[in-house]
Amino acid sequence: MTQSAAAFGFIGFTLLAPGLAAETGLDERDFGLAFSFIFLGTSLASPFCGAMMRRFGSVPAMLICLVGMGLSAMLALAGTWSMVMFAAFMYGVFYGPYGPANVTMVSAKTPRHRVGLFMSIRQSGVSLAGTTAGYLLPATMLAVGWQAGVYTMAIVVAIAALGTLLFAPVFRIRPDDAPAKSSTPFGLRRALQRFMLPKDMQLLGWTAIAFATSHTSLFTFTYIYLLEGVGMSPIEAGVFFAIIQVAAIAGRPLAGMFSDWIRSPEITLAILAVGASVAIFGALSLTPDTPKLLMYAIALLAGLSGNSWSPIFMTAVSLRAPVGQVGEMNGRAYAFASLGWMLAPPLIWGLIELSGTYAVPFGVVIAGNLIGGAALLTQIRRRRPSGR
């Protein structure tokens, strides 16, 4: 559940947007860029997960990250756009190593043929956090003020840090063996090597950028689209947002079981990409007169597909990682996914400004999904031995 608390914090930045927009006179979309700054931080910091775990141990590394996240959230109380973005960036810097460390703990303590299921159960905590945030924070902030949302985020993360300390044996694992030292002279090339995946895992990394962009469109921009494009109230949009998270709570374990059953996280990712594309198209078709039942069905599909890809992706990485380098590879892979989460907001907002519609950016996201899924299926076919 500590993963839920950490996720509650970065989800909270998105839900602060209406209150901060009213406070500053800026648009809600301006504060939607907090998502980019969070994942700019994670993309820079997550490759250092393995080094942190080797240097400090798994439990101290997680505690450092949780405390850092709580303190970073409090910076948002300044209430200015620049400080909120800085708070989001610093939150991401500490969340970056935390996510892969938590993933490594799960994979280390799970039978290999059940990694997909347990990874998905772990990731369902993020959806639980989103559900709670979607129901709790908008109403709380309308009644008390947006600052209450910031305090709630910090308190939740502080409770997670205390839980990690009290139940330390659960989170304690043997750190990965240090990878072989590079013979490349110190410099930009050697620094970039820390972020690169092995050749046979690189396609996973690149497709993760597309899937993370799709995830963002359903996770963040659908909420803001419902406010700006469809004209829903923050409460109505928050309920739609919460339904996506509820669906993902069930969808992620189902996707994990399916992945374990067919023994192919990559095929599972391709199927989820198609489902997410259909959900995005459906969200784009919403109007104020859309029947609530259809609206909720679209949210359900979004949660079952677009919000269920990340644990399957991390399962594929954990299963393919070289022996003794699971934490290292998880950190690097998470950096690729973070690039998608980081680049999605400016890409989507930029295309909205250029085109004047949500149809263009959502169309680009759908294309990225389908291309990424097709690339994974093509790679799988090429790996099959001839004659089979």
Q: Where are the domains of the chain?
A: 2-171+194-383
pLDDT under 50 in the chain at which residues? 177-186, 386-388
Q: Residue 191: exposed, middle, or buried by beta-carbon count in 10 A (0-12, 13-18, 19+)?
A: exposed
Locus of tokens 């993309």: 43
So what's the pLDDT on residue 109? 65
What pLDDT shows up at residue 97?
A: 87
How many CA atoms are closer than 13 Å to the CA of 225, on its beta-carbon side? 27
pLDDT at 387: 44
CA torsion sign, 60 to 101 to 333 to 369? Answer: negative
Check residue 178 and report its DSSP letter: P
Which structure tokens are listed for 129?
A: 């956090």
> pTM here?
0.73
CATH number for the domain formed by residue range(s) 2-171+194-383: 1.20.1250.20
Single out the residue of 173, 187, 46 nearest to residue 104, CA to CA.
173
User: What pLDDT is stored for residue 124 in this prediction?
Assistant: 61
Q: For residues 336 and 204, what is the distance between their CA atoms, to the nearest angstrom?
A: 9
Token pair belonging to 328: 């290292």
What is the spatial distance between Cα 94 and Cα 63, in angstroms, rounded to a whole number?
Answer: 10
Cα–Cα nearest to 341, from 33, 45, 47: 33
- Residues sharing a CB contact under 8 Å with residue 54, sequence separation 6 or more, in sequence order: 175, 176, 178
Length of the chain in terms of residues written? 388
Q: What's the CA gap between 18 and 141, in Å, rounded?
A: 9
Residue 96: its pLDDT value, please?
85
Q: What is the pLDDT of residue 74?
A: 93
Sign for the pseudo-dihedral over CA of 342, 128, 300, 309 = positive
Buried/exposed code over 211-244 (b: 16+ C-beta within 10 A; e: otherwise): bbbbbbbbbbbbbbbbbbbbebebebbbbbbbbb
